[in-house]
A and B are shown apart, each in its own frame.
Chain A
Amino acid sequence: MLTFGTLAFLQPLFLAALLALPILWLLLRAVPPAPKRERFPGVRILIGLDDRERTPQRTPWWLLLLRLIATAFLIFAFADPVLNPKPRLGGSGPLLVVMDGGWASGSDWADRREAALDFIDQAAAADRPVSFQRLSDPTPAPEQFSFQTADAAGRVVAALDPLPWAPDHTRLDAAIEAAESLDAIYLHDGLDHPGATDLADRLAAKGPLRMIGPAETALALAPPRIEGGDMTISVLRAETGDVLSARLAAFGAAQDGGERRIAFADAELAADTLTGDALIELPLELRNAVARIAIAGQPHAGAVQLFDDRWKRRSVALVSGERGRGEQPLLEGLTYLRAALAPHASYQEAALEDALELNVDVIILADIGRIDVSAETALLDWVESGGLLIRFAGPQLAAAVAEQSRLGRLAGAPQMTPDPLLPTTLRGGGRALGGALSWGAPQGLRSFPQDSPFADLAAPTEVTVSRQVLAEPGPELSERIWASLADGTPLVTAAPVGDGRIALFHVTASPAWSSLPLSGLFVEMMGRLVAAAPALAGGEAARAESVETWRPERVLDGYGRLEAVGDDAAPVDGATLANGVAPGIAPGVYSPATEDVGGASLAVNLITSETILAPRAAPPAGVFVETLTGTSETPLKPWLLTAAMALLLLDILAALFVAGRLRRSVASLVVGVILAAGVISDAPPAFAQSSTETTEDADLFAVDPAEKRAALETVLGFVTTGDPRVDRISEAGLLGLSATLNQRTAIEPGEPAAVDIEADELALFAILYWPITATQPELSDTAVRRMNAFMRSGGLLIIDTRDTHETFGSAEGPNARNLRRLVGRLDLPPLEQTPPDHVLTRSFYLIDALPGRWYGGPVWVEAAPQGGEDGQTVVNANDGVSPVIIGGHDWAGAWALDEQGAPLFPMGRGGERQREIAYRFGVNAAMYAFTGNYKSDQVHLPALLERLGN
């Protein structure tokens, strides 16, 4: 082998043929180009002519050069050149191949495996037995080396992957002891592990040793730290060296169940430092969604930090004593608590008895009045052991306090026994401020006291309190106040109990008593409170021990990929897991194996805050040290042969050209094609890898422009049916109605939007027009759910069967079946035919029919509530506005205008007057949807009667 730098010739003898090139030069010079043959009848005349120039013309120099280069390429090709030649194996006898195979080998595993396979192949060629050992194997250590054929070992190695834990360098001690002499190759990861130096010494003592280390050791990612609300995470390296910039990416769960990238951060490692910090700045909500942070371009388990939910979020149990839950969410404290807690904590709603079982950090009791004795004891125990109990006042608490104080008075006790679950004694009955019968106005907030956790929050002026429960004045009251009203009465009081704390909001969690829950302050206050809660959970180790057995849920493989583990994975003992990652215990997310324990999962990470990376000590003298090049051996022979072939082809063309046989254009075309083919085959086939990343980033905050428009301006929507003709009519109809609304009313809708109820966001629309067709497929569950939500949240759905003109008498139209098919699963209210005095007939115009192109068919709306005048007892959802209007009058057909503003369709029997009425109905419907039923108020009735009378 002849080596020049990274180039080597395996058959250098062939190079001697280069000496023959000058001879070739002389030979080639003498041979003229082949003559062109020309058919020519005049040849008989030529015969006998004296040709004065019979000497052969010389081959052009460039043609000669071309041929020489082609020949040289051939000679070089047969000399078998290779780029980056592999190390050749020396020696004889059994060969021991040892690999670390731990997490730090993940980055360049392919190269390592390639290198190992290369040696094994060479051993196979030399017919040497091979024993392959991987130090990270979780299997029991071998007593002695068993040698097998190189082919068998090669098959084993080819299928190997790195393992996500550190290699065990004492694994081979016994076997090395037992061996007499060893010819060993050791592919290590360049990091110092316990016993690493020993292993090299032992191997070197037994015979020739070749140690192959990586060009660069692996980087590792230390656990993140939360400092001042920001997340800092360090990148570790083993050796100082150049300035290094590592890009970190934080991943979180995407909505579709996959992963999405949440943030990037760059860690800069200065030339002389081993660690570099990256600041991951994220809004709290996103930070809490982080499931994994990894170093980009470092595919191994040490470059990944996993997060479990316990790590970042307090868990909260919500207990509500409010009545009538779920009916009117906006009037419930739970709604506001959920919204306020969502950014800060994970919460579960539970009954009081169950809340203690949930193993949470914080329990919030919203308007819980009476607590029975056993629950009270248990709660108190829990608080004393470090829990945070947050209570909200409310009618029930006030009633309970009043009851207690009445009982106390009855019992004649001079002093009320303080409720142990309240931070301060409350007075019986609350006070109402700013009511119809009180002089005082609702109170604002006083700025927060210094020792309160809210101290640095600004008290906004718009927060007012109209009702509260009052504390009994007492000596310790002032120091227990965390927030107070302008008049000094407490708003939030808190008292330490044991290791824990009890806090009380003197108002409700709903906006009934104060506007506090509506303000951003509430969210921040809840955040402070929750953050102030001492984390009941200890470190990973303590948590791991607290559960008897863990079941791996998703574990990292040797390449740092988080893989789901099947149900059959072996459970791990809590005590074992507490010791961290070890051979056989992969880093990953573990969940308790038994269901009864509070279900928080546990992230076990390879790199802990104690981990320090160190470079491997220098190997003992006499060891052959190599660096893993990472570049594989590239044989150049095929390339040279190809090039020679191409040159020879070119030579043919050139010879033709010289002989005048080839027209210039054809020649350049052919040469161009050859060159282009060369360029294409040389082009690196790696475009696909980088492009995906950018698209991922882009869709994080992408907003559909149509949705943006619908959100920014008032837009009438129509449900696309899949029938393009019907959809066009719907669009034209709504366009006409929008124009009418613009002209005549304060509603100024933009261009109507097509709405795909399967995919689009419906909350952006107040009115949806839905023509019924036979072709529209049935709604999916999602669409049904969206439609129900749309109607429940105040949307108006106008369903048009467009078939009144095809009905006779009271028979149903042909589309009635399709109507049932499509909307049958919707949560429609009870319907009635529009009564003559329905709000729809007078919300803007006074009309007595609701015609479209056709009229006379029934138009159905939600039946009026049966409760009659007693509006208090009936939940009047959505202001009594019917969520749906169902008819068959083809309203869109009547409204439809073309681009010039001319009607698209002729009207039915009613003529243009009916079109006007149809527009008026449309205006009324829009008014109805946007303004509700205020026109039905009694106030307007006399005026309406008067105008009707006229």
Chain B
Amino acid sequence: MAEVAANPVTLRRDAEALSATLPPLLAQAERLASTVVLGAHGRRRAGMGETFWQYRPATPGDAASSIDWRRSARSDQLYVRQTEWEAAQTVWLWCDRCASMSYKSRAAQTDKRDRAAVLATALAILLSRGGERLAALGTDAARPAIGESQMTRIAAAFSEPEDDDFGAPPAFEAVRGGRAVFVSDFFGDEQAILAGVNAAASQGVDGLLLQVVDPAEETFPFDGRIVFESMRGLLNYETDRAKALREDYIKALSARRDRLADAARRAGWRFSVHRTSDAPTPALLWLSQGISQPRNG
């Protein structure tokens, strides 16, 4: 597993290495009816596609061109040949690339941004192999598309840092039945994050929230007189004895997580935490399974 994915090529390579350990992932389609886009999944109903599905007796109103004359010739009735409806699921990926994600304490192997980008890209690769339509939110590749070129665009997009101090999931125009994956530290403005999640959920999108944190952000190993600054220096907080803040901080952090998890559950989403000091594979597993499992209920 690479430490740093500094450019699209290495990021892609690292992500490939990670995703190679998993079987190709086929997204579970739940909303067959409401989507019209053709894809590699059979939707187990008649529709547009190439795979034969069934013959049905022609009804008035069927176009003459849709009649299967060979089948109709074997009987007295006219039949229409129907194909299985094949449609790809759309997955919107949002990988937080803001300054706060560039934090790396000494206990961590890599900074949060690299870890998040690797995880997101790996997931994208798995999905792409399954023929899903992918979109990277907040980047050039924000329009869902299929294929290798989209993969490349996504990988390129995820390896570019952003300037903002903290990130929040952007609003997007979703297709009902699509999936969303948000990877971030979720240290930004809580309201903006929750708004992003709710906006997506309200469009009928089902999703995953993966919080990537540095171990230092969980243990708060500081002492002495310290001015804490955000990575861009926009926010700061001064204390004379950092150690005294530790318990409060940990409490506040878990409260925030609880709120996020709660919001996710209410939207039918899932929430998990990944530490940069840990191996990334379990997190990818969680992501891929979360994508392929049908929605609760």
Contact = CB atoms under 8 A, between A and B. Distances in A.
Q: Do A and B bind each other?
A: yes
Interface of A: 32-33, 35-57, 659-660
Contacts of A57: 225, 240
Nearest to B253: A45
A56 B236 CA distance: 18
Interface residues of B, number: 38
Given A40-B103, A53-B241, A55-B240, A45 B256 contact: yes
B237 A41 contact: no
B79 interface: no
A47 B230 CA distance: 11
Nearest to A54: B240
B115 to A, nearest CB: 14
B225 A39 contact: no
A52 B103 contact: no
Contact of B249 (A38, A46, A52): A46
B188 to A, nearest CB: 7
B222 A38 contact: yes
Contacts of B216: 40
A45 B225 contact: no
Contact of A36 (B112, B226, B252, B256): B226
A41 B231 contact: yes
B172 interface: no
A50 B240 CA distance: 12
Nearest to A37: B227
Contact of A44 (B101, B166, B244): B166
The 8 closest A-B pairs by CB, nearest first: A41-B100, A35-B225, A660-B224, A53-B241, A46-B237, A40-B228, A43-B228, A41-B103
B112, B216, B217, B225 pick with most chain A CB within 10 angstroms: B225
16 contacts: A37-B226, A39-B229, A40-B222, A40-B229, A41-B230, A42-B253, A43-B230, A45-B249, A45-B253, A46-B249, A48-B252, A49-B237, A50-B248, A51-B245, A57-B225, A660-B226
B249 A37 contact: no
A47 B248 CA distance: 11
Query: B103, B214, B248: which has the most chain A beta carbons within 10 Å?
Result: B248
B53 interface: no
Given A43-B229, A45-B249, A51 B244 contact: yes
A49 B238 CA distance: 11
A32 B241 CA distance: 13
B220 A42 contact: yes
Contacts of A55: 240
B64 interface: no
Given A36-B225, A44-B166, A45-B256, A53 B244 contact: yes
Contacts of B240: 32, 35, 51, 53-57
Contact of A49 (B100, B101, B236, B245): B245
A484 B227 CA distance: 115
Contacts of B55: none
Interface in B197-223: 214, 216-217, 220, 222-223
Contacts of A36: 224-227
Contacts of A54: 240
A42 B241 contact: no
A440 B227 CA distance: 123
Nearest to A49: B248
Contacts of B228: 38-40, 42-43, 46
Interface in B152-192: 166, 185, 187-189
Nearest to A35: B225
Given A51-B245, A53-B240, A57-B240, A41 B227 contact: no
B188 A42 contact: no
A39 B223 contact: no
B19 to A, nearest CB: 27
A47 B235 contact: yes
Contacts of A35: 225-227, 238, 240
A41 B252 contact: no
A2 B223 CA distance: 51
B225 A44 contact: no
Interface string B248-260: 1100110010000
A389 B247 CA distance: 120
B241 A49 contact: no
Contacts of B222: 38, 40
B293 interface: no
Contact of A42 (B101, B217, B227, B239): B217
Nearest to B229: A39
A47 B220 CA distance: 14
Nearest to A42: B217
A42 B188 CA distance: 9
B235 A43 contact: yes
Q: Most chain-B Cβ atoms within 10 A of its Cβ — which of A32, A33, A35, A46?
A: A46
Nearest to B189: A44
B250 to A, nearest CB: 9
Contacts of A52: 244
A45 B252 contact: yes
B187 A39 contact: no
A48 B235 CA distance: 12
Nearest to B234: A43
Nearest to B224: A660
A39 B252 CA distance: 19
A918 B190 CA distance: 107
A291 to B, nearest CB: 77
B185 A41 contact: yes
Interface string B85-108: 000000000000000110100000
Q: Which of A33, A48, A49, A54 has the most CB of B within 10 A?
A: A49
A38 B187 contact: no
Contacts of A56: 240
A38 B244 contact: no
Contacts of A42: 187, 217, 220, 228, 249, 253
A45 B253 CA distance: 7
* Centre residue among A35, A38, A41, A52 by max chain B CB count within 10 A: A41
B249 A39 contact: no
Contacts of B217: 40-42
A39 B226 contact: no
Nearest to A32: B225
A52 B188 CA distance: 25
Contacts of A37: 226-227, 229
A90 to B, nearest CB: 60
Nearest to B233: A39
A49 B249 CA distance: 7
Given A49-B252, A51-B245, A43 B223 contact: no
A43 B244 contact: no
Nearest to A661: B224
A200 B238 CA distance: 81
B229 A46 contact: no
Nearest to B251: A49
Contacts of B237: 43, 46-47, 49
A52 B101 CA distance: 29
A685 B220 CA distance: 55
A402 B248 CA distance: 138
A47 B240 CA distance: 15
B235 A44 contact: yes
Contacts of A48: 252
Nearest to A56: B240
A136 to B, nearest CB: 74
Most chain A CB within 10 A, of B166, B235, B240, B253, is at: B240
Interface string B13-32: 00000000000000000000
A56 B238 CA distance: 12
Contact of B103 (A39, A44, A50): A39
Contacts of A41: 100-101, 103, 112, 166, 185, 187, 214, 217, 230-231
Nearest to B217: A42
A660 B233 CA distance: 20
B211 to A, nearest CB: 12
A56 B239 CA distance: 10
A477 B225 CA distance: 119
A655 B245 CA distance: 23
